[in-house]
Each structure stands twice: as structure tokens, then as C-alpha cells.
Structure 1
Amino acid sequence: MWRYADLLPVDGEPTDGTHTGFTPLVRAKNLADALGIKELYIKDDTVCHPTFSFKDRVVAVALSKAKEFGFDTVSCASTGNLANAVAAHAAIAKLNCFIFIPADLEVGKVVASLVYGPTVVRITGNYDDVNRLCSEIGGIYPWAFVNINIRPFYAEGSKTLCFELIEQLGWKAPAHIVAPAAGGSLVTKIGKALKEFHILGLIDKPNTKIHPVRPNTIAKSLAIGNPADGIYAVDTVRNSGGVGEHATDIEIVDAIKLIASTEGIFTETAGGVTLAVAKKLIENGHIGPDEPTVLAITGNGLKTVEALENKTDISHIIAPQLNAFRKLMTEVD
């Protein structure tokens, strides 16, 4: 991601996230056929280093800036992915780390933060309660809260997802980008990235419609009632000509299974929302069959396996005998 360092708010050489970013842009032919569209791509941040979500991008910028400012402790309010990324990058940077999360967060995301050795504080309440408490703590303790007092720098890291997909498309902007909207930062910075590349003459004037997606919801990573960049995200979407849409829990689970069975990509619930909404936008005519479209899949499905409990096909148990397998095959057929 630091190939775009000149467009990011870090002075000198970056000190964090040197192996983060430039994730695959997958031409999703099987999924495109299933949806009835000709040119579909997946920006696959399920493999983003080191914690398998696009939050590694924003944290790389935030912690590089925190070290520039001389902070020795970093912190965040999170619904999971940000907590994982801050904890991991803080360990690499040798910074003290405090993580604040809702008490009911998915077990996988909690463990994936604890393993790096931060102090994890679970708050009874939703993300808005956690974020409000962090704002109060930030007024007392001299820490770098990546999504509070150094949020302007943190948010800029989101641009790299869009920078990369444009470069990977041969320096062309797609007709549509569908992306999850939690705090609104990713959607907002996708719009900013398009503008910056156009100003620099790297792409023609973009006519990309940006579509934010929201759940109703098992997707706890998007369950934010008061998004910090919500107003800016709305302006970005309206100016692009995009539309917002939501997905139900059933639609999210079906989408997770669809992208796995067609493209071999296991997305977390946020990616399920992205695909479920993209399917609706195609069916409703907001995305045409001949219009190049990119889906932002922002996190790995191993983080939210609880969402699929009792919602996938069962496995089969047999005795270690050939006859037992033959009997199973007659039942399966």
C-alpha cells in the first residue's frame, strides 16, 4: 500500500504496514454468471496482511502517524476488525495497546485481538456506547485513539483500496463500486481516491457510482448507529449517483455461501452484505449487465464463523469401512 505514500499523510518513511495491501482483484466470472452480469470483480481484502481485513490499511497509516507524534500507547473502539488490526500492528511497532469492544462481539474476533497481548476491555452496550466511553477516556489519557484523535490520518488509509483496484484495472475506474458502510470512512475515501487520481491525470474523469451497504443484522462489524463519517458518506454517494441498500440476515448468509461456492472466497458477514446488496442492485436495474462492477470484500470469513452456525449443509459421519461409504453414496445420490 505504501506505493501510494505520496498521497498519504505520513512524513518521511512509513514505520508500519510495510507488507500490507495490494490485495488481489479477482475477475469473478462464475459469480458474474450467477448474477447475470458480464464484468464483475472482487477486491479481496480477506487476505490483507496481517489480520485479514481492510482495517490493516487504515491502521498502518494511523500507527505510522502515532509514532511520528511520539505516542507510546495506541487504542481504539471497535466492532472487531479494527481491534485485531490495532493489536497486531501495535505489537509489531512495540506500542502499548488498549482495545475497547462491545461485550457481545464474535468470539473469533475477541481471540484474534487477545493473541497479540493488548489490554482488551469489553463494554456492556453497543458500539456507540463503546465509542462514547472512548471519547471520554481520550480526554483524560494521552493516548492515540486511531478512530478518535488521529482519525483524520487513519481514514486516509482507506483510499489505498481504491487506488489499487484502479491500477489493477489498467488505470481505469469501474462503473460501480459496492462497499460496506459502518462508520462511512471507506465509502467516503473511495470517492476521494477517484478524485485524486483524476486530478493527477492517472485516470479519465470518473463516472463511478458508489453504493454503500448496510445490514439488519448478524453483521456486527457494520452495526453502528451513529457513523462518524455518515454525513460525508451520504454526500459522496449522492454526488456519484449511487444508491444505498440493506440486506437481511437470511440474504447475508445466502450471499456468503454463494461467493464461497462460486469463487472460493470465504467472506465475513460484511462481505455477505456487500454481495447481497449488489444482487439487489442488479435485479433492480441500478447496475446494468454490461457495466464493470467491483465488490469490496473487506474481511475474512474465519472471523465470523458463528454467523453460519446451523446454516450450512451438515457433514456426514460413517464407520471406517468401504461398505459404509458405499451406503452413504446411495443416500447422497
Structure 2
Amino acid sequence: MTLIDEPQTGPVLRDGAFGPARNLVCRECGSTRDLGPHYVCHECFGPLEIAYDFGTVTREQIEAGPANIWRYKALLPVPDDIAESPNLEPGFTRLLEAKNLAAELGLRRLWVKDDSTNPTNSFKDRVVAIALSAAREFDAKVFACPSTGNLANAVAAAGARAGIRTVVFIPSDLEAAKQVNSAIYTENLVAVEGTYDDVNKLASEIAGEQDGWAFVNVNVRPFYAEGSKTLGYEIAEQLGWRLPDQIVIPVASGSQLTKVHKAFGELVALGLVEDKPCRIFGAQAEGCAPISAAHKAGVDAIRPVKPDTIAKSLAIGNPADGIYVLDIAQATGGAVEDVTDEEIREAIVLLARTEGIFTETAGGTTVGVLRKLVETGQLDPDLETVVINTGHGLKTLDAVSDRVGPRATIAATYDAFVAADIV
């Protein structure tokens, strides 16, 4: 079997392998094709995504499910028995009301969706779980990805749990902590000289040449991307089955933002939540902000950039879903904003010291953008707001290690303590 995006017979798929998923549909021209390891439309070369025929889905049905993403299996391209397959069981992470941070920023009500508590400490465990299910159905022999770090961690860990060979590709200058977090799970960590976009190009070439390789964010991308919908489902459920007024989401490729938006739309269509306006904001780092730049310029084309930022998990200079992020921000009355590396560092410390949440640089970007949106009047401080923290700060210690540490080093005596004037 060859997992490449061209006509092929492929594996024989079992009935119900993809649950309610009906087919693949082009996001540009609307052409459809059968479910399979395809990601590019053969009519217009646009990106493919999954379309569904949902049956009746109730709140009670969802609430009776496990405390992980499989509670939403009726809304995902996975088999009904998905929970029985070895997996990391990600999801249903905490939604914390951030009263201290809200007071600091002048917001009426603020929540943090904290995905740092997933099995490998980032939201990527969600998308990888869906991609792994698809890879199994396609009889893949190798589970792989190009990554800015968190995805590599998630793929390597999920592959180890599932007993499938994994190979993960990363930029060679990736944070050391993220390299260790991948290498601990797999011996096949490959560092590539260049940016993430260079790594992604190499992965696409390998996917087209190697037999039986499932690259989660290349030839299995339509399935992989659906995992981000579970963030939207959980936020709505944890808010008491309602949508927030505003949400701020970090943007790299843009897939997470577009899928959270898709999730909200599905919940409304199924009658699980009431329809209401929800303004969606995207957050980028100034050193890699092609979508923010396009939004501010009022254009609908994304000009690729070469990343130069400490927020390496957001450092995708040619974002695949960039134009869709622009469309959603405009349609919902939101925006796409960016912050400097210094503002990212400040926001990491701010979140930690107000809410006890240690976020990585992507979360620092999101909180920094939240603060900037309030200060510039782009975000309404009186509306209920959710901000997504996608990963744990232990992955990016270098970002703040030079600005935090011991207040004083003292002798082990009471007099030394008094002299240090700690209180």
C-alpha cells in the first residue's frame, strides 16, 4: 500500500471505520472524493476536509462518554470502538475561570482552556489521536510527521503506545526540551537543517515516495485536523452547553482556529447549543505573523515569511489555513493580532503569577495578544472571553529562564533571612 495523494485502490476499509464521516470535500470548489489518504483536490488542487452525515446526537449521549475526546466520537471520523484501541486518551482538559488575570487585564469574565495537561502536555495529542485511528485503517506501517516540536512529541508517544514505528522530523534549532520529549519515545528523531517549512517540504516528498508512511499532517491531514474540533466541543460543554462571546486562539498553520470554528457551527446545527455571535481572534508572534500582516493590510492573500521568533511552535511562515483564518476573523467580527518576543515573555510570567499556569511560548503569544486586544479596543472587555493555552512551559524554559530565579541567596540563619528583607 502506498499512502500518497493520487488515484489508488488502497486498503479495503471496514464498515464504520470512519464513523459519521461521509466523504472528503474540497474547501475551494466543493468537489468530493471517497474517504482515503488524500489531502489535495484533483479538480482544483485545493485542500480537502471531511464532510459528515450526523445522526441524532444528544447532550446526554456525550456526557455519558469517557472523560476524554472519545466522548465526542459521534462527531469524529473514528469507529465506534475507538476507545478500545491503545491510545493516550487525550482531551477533556480543564477550563479554568481566570479571575486574577481578568482583573489584571480589565476583563469582566475570562476563562483559560488549559491543554497543557494532555498526555504529552500539548493540544497536539488530540489531533494525533484522530490521525492514528486513520493510519490504522489505512494499514500504515510508519507513523510520521514534520513538526515544530509539540506534534513530534505527540506522534512519538502515541506511536509507542500503539506499537507502530514512528519517525518524526524537526528543525535542527528546535528547543532542547522538545527534542528530548520526542527522543524519549522514539529512536527515529530526525533533525533537519532549515525552517519548519523546509521540514514540511521534505516530509511531503517522502510521503510521495515511501510506501506505507502516514504523515499525520500531510497525507492524513484531513483526519488529523478534525481533532482540533474537540477543543470547541469541550469549551461549549464546560461552559454549560453554550458558546463564549469571544475566543482567542494561537495561530501557526491556522488549522486549530478553523476547526474550533467548525466545531461551534456543528454544535449549533445539531441543536446542542444555541446560536449566538462568537468573535474569533487569532494570535501570532511578530517574528512570524503572515496572517496578522494580511489582516492589518486588509488583503486576502498570505505572503510567506521566514520565521524569527522564540515562539517556535507557531513558526510556520507559509500557513496552510491562513486564508480561512482571515475569512473567519472577518466574518465573526474578530481580528488577527501579533506581539513581540518580549511581550510573549512578559505574558508567560503574567499568566503564571496570576493563575498558576505555566505556559509555553505559544500560550505567551495568546495571552500577550489578549492583553493587546484589550488595550487597543479590538476586544470587548465586558464580554465573556476564552483564551486557549496549548502547551506547558517546561517545554520552553529558555524563554524565561533569564528573568526568573532566586530573589536572594542567603546563609541558613534567621539573621540572614532578616537581612535579605524578603517580606
Q: Smaller-chain TM-score range?
A: over 0.9
Q: Superposition pairs for residues 155-174 of structure 1, below 5 Å?
A: 155-174=225-244
**Residue 93 (structure 1) aligned to one of 162, 169, 177:** 162
Aligned residues: 330
Partner SS state of residue 209, structure 2: coil
- What residue number does 2:318 align with? 226
Report the Cα distance in structure 1 between the residues aligned to 2:380 and 2:279, rounded to whole angstroms: 12
1:58–1:154 CA contact under 8 A, matched in 2: yes
Identity among equivalent positions (%) equals 52
* Farther off after superposition, 7-16 or 187-196: 7-16
Residues in 1 aligned to 2:224 and 2:87: alpha-carbon distance in whole angstroms: 12
Q: Give 1:29's aligned residue.
A: 99
Alignment counterpart, residue 67 of structure 1, candidates 124, 127, 136: 136
Structure 2 partner of 1:279: 371
TM-score (norm. length: structure 1): 0.96
- Report the Cα distance in structure 1 between the residues aligned to 2:367 and 2:115, rounded to whole angstroms: 14
TM-score, length of structure 2 as denominator length: 0.76
- Which SS does the other structure have where 2:339 is aligned? strand
- Alpha carbons 1:87, 1:117 under 8 Å: kept: yes
Task: Find the counterpart in structure 2 of residue 317 from structure 1.
Answer: 409
Aligned residues: CA RMSD = 1.2
Q: Which residue of 2 aligns with 1:132?
A: 201
Instruction: Please state if 1:327 is matched with 2:395.
Output: no
User: Offset of 1:12 from its aligned partner?
Assistant: 3.3
Q: Is the 8 A contact 1:180 1:212 kept in 2?
A: yes
What one-letter code is carried by the residue in structure 1 that aligns with 2:391? Answer: G
Taking the aligned partners of 1:150 and 1:279, their CA distance within structure 2 comes to: 36
In structure 2, give the amino acid aligned to 1:318: I
- Aligned pairs for 1:183-202 within 5 A: 183-202=253-272
Partner of 2:281: 211
- In 2, the alpha carbon distance for the partners of 1:29 and 1:321 equals 38
CA–CA separation in structure 2 for the residues paired with 1:16 and 1:219: 32
Conserved 8 A contact 2:73-2:80? no
Matched, 1:54 2:123: yes
Instruction: State the shift of 1:64 in Å.
Output: 1.2
SS in 2 for 1:319: coil
Q: 1:45 maps to which residue?
A: 115
Q: Determine helix, strand or coil for the equivalent of 2:154.
A: helix
Q: Which runs of 5+ in 2 are unaligned?
A: 1-68, 288-308
Superposed CA offset, 1:258-284 (max 9, x none):
010000000000000000101111112
The aligned counterpart of 2:297 is: none
2:377, 2:394 → 1: CA distance?
Answer: 33
Query: Could you report, residue by residue, the CA deviation over 1:59-108 in whole angstroms, capped at 9, with x for unpaired residues?
Result: 01100111111112100000000000000000000010001000000000
What amino acid maps onto 2:312 in structure 1? K
Measure, in 2, the Cα distance between the counterparts of 1:16 and 1:236: 36
Question: 1:256 and 2:348 equivalent?
Answer: yes
Gaps of 5+ in 1: none
2:382 matched to 1:290? yes
Report the Cα distance in structure 2 between the residues aligned to 1:127 and 1:162, rounded to whole angstroms: 27
In the TM superposition, what is the alpha-carbon distance from 1:234 to its structure 2 partner?
A: 1.9
Moved over 6 A (4+): none
**In 1, Cα distance between equivalents of 2:390 and 2:246:** 16
Q: Residue type of the partner of 2:223? A: F
Per-residue CA deviation, residues 210-267 of structure 1 (Å, 9 max, x unaligned), is: 1111102210110110112222222222222210000101110110000100000000
Which structure: greater helix fraction?
Answer: 1
Cα deviation, residue 39, structure 1 = 0.6
Cα distance in 2 for residues equivalent to 1:322 and 1:207:
59
Report the counterpart of residue 179 of structure 2 in structure 1.
110
Question: In the TM superposition, what whole-angstrom CA distance separates every residue of 1:142-183 from its partner, at most 9, and x where no partner exists?
Answer: 200000000000000000011001000011101111010001
User: Is the 2:88–2:161 Cα contact (8 Å) retained in structure 1?
Assistant: no
Query: Aligned-pair distance for 1:312?
Result: 2.2
User: Structure 2 counterpart of 1:249, which letter?
Assistant: D
| 2:92 is the counterpart of 1:9 | no
| Cα pair distance change 1:91/1:83, threshold 3 Å | same
User: Which has the larger Rg?
Assistant: 2
Amino acid of the residue matched to residue 97 of structure 2? R
**Superposed displacement of residue 13, structure 1:** 1.7
Q: Distance between the aligned counterparts of 2:76 and 2:251, measured in 1?
A: 22
Determine if contact 1:271/1:298 at 8 Å carries over to the other structure: yes
How far is 1:328 from its partner?
Answer: 1.6
Given that 1:16 and 1:60 are in contact with CA atoms closer than 8 Å, whether structure 2 keeps it comes out as: no
* Per-residue deviation, 1:117: 2.1
User: Which deviates further from its counterpart, 138-147 or 228-237?
Assistant: 228-237
Determine the C-alpha separation between the residues in 2 that align with 1:16 and 1:192.
28
Q: Distance in 2 between matches of 1:171 and 1:118?
A: 43
- Answer yes or no: is the 8 Å Cα contact 2:146–2:196 preserved in 1: yes
Q: Give the counterpart of 2:219 among 149, 155, 160.
A: 149
